[in-house]
Structure 1
Amino acid sequence: MKKIHIVSVVLLSTLFIVIGVALRNETDELGQGFGEEIRQPGNISGDPPVKDKEEELIPPYPIETTQLVLKGRESSSALGSDSKGVEITLFDLSMHEVGDEIALLIPQEDRVYQGSVTDAQTTVAGNRVITGFFDGSLKRQRFIFTVGSSQTFGTLQTSEGRYQLETRNGVGRIISVVEINEGLDFSKPDFRIPQRRESGLDNKSPKL
């Protein structure tokens, strides 16, 4: 009886070992299958896949759609170091028509204003007059350029102030009206009446 009991125990132990090994293999297979579903190629952590770098790139600055026609310029001795205002370069505006967009960099404000041309005419003298606004339908911030064969004059009104510019062959200066008026005393008349010079000849009658 003892031998039969020992044999039964051995058989039961062997059966449990076989069943345990089978269950372990099945669990490993399920784990591998589950891991393959959540793991992407190159991503061994099992975390959600990382987006491509191209999708994460964000431009560090807005892309300009309109070319700058007015830019600041490095100081040049050709225009005189004692001159007021800021040196600029101005592209040719003579070919602009109604509806064209232009972008102007105001150096004093370090800001780009983009506006639309609302009127473009050619005078009898052949000068081109370009008018437009920076603020659209509000029509408070206006710009106007008179473009000649070699010189251009302009007046610009922005949200910060009013400016005047003059260029020759694309190079010149822009100055704020505030700077122009510095040192001026508006309490005094802006005209002068010359004194009449008295002479003894005025009292003598001409000889006949």
Structure 2
Amino acid sequence: SGEKANEDLYVVKIEEPNKSLSGSEASEDQPSTEKRSLESQNNSKDSPTSCSVSETPTSPQSESTSVYKPPDLNRNITEIFGKLINIYRALGDDRRSFSYYKAIPVIEKFPTKIESVDQLKHLPGIGKSLTDHIQEIVTTGKLSKLEHFETDEKVRTISLFGEVWGIGPATALKLFERGHRTLEDLKNEESLTHAQKLGLKYF
């Protein structure tokens, strides 16, 4: 029995290294989960797919687009019409003032230089009277009606008074008929309201 026990012990001594060896082999052949996770992370860093940068093409609609504004090629006409608007407003003639007011944006948007009234056919807001004015401006570079207004004392005075805050065309005409010709004359006018006097003071 002693030999058997010794054999058993011997066997045990022989088998234990085998168990430890198999355990060592298992640890070498089967990496731990943590080691596999680390290698997976390293592989993902070295993988070309992880380094690829996705580029999103810019949509043309996302880019801001500026609104096209045609050049004012006919400023020689629109500037004269603008002066006539102010004159007719000062004279209290809203109908004629509005006709020039409607014509200006049509002329401003015209794509080419106006050199003949034939180019204005079928344009909205351009009647015979305005067509004649445009023809004169294109031909001579000026408008006789405007020159007449600018040299007319009545028109010039009423336009000046109408620029004062609180004084409209009707009041400006009355002030002219009372003999006033300059802003200095208005300082002694007793009929002016408090608002009109303030407008004259800070003009």
| TM-score normalized by the length of structure 2 | 0.29
| TM-score normalized by the length of structure 1 | 0.28
Greater length-normalized contact order (CA 8 Å, ≥ 6 residues apart):
2
Is the helix fraction higher in 1 or 2?
2
Rg (Cα) greater in structure: 2
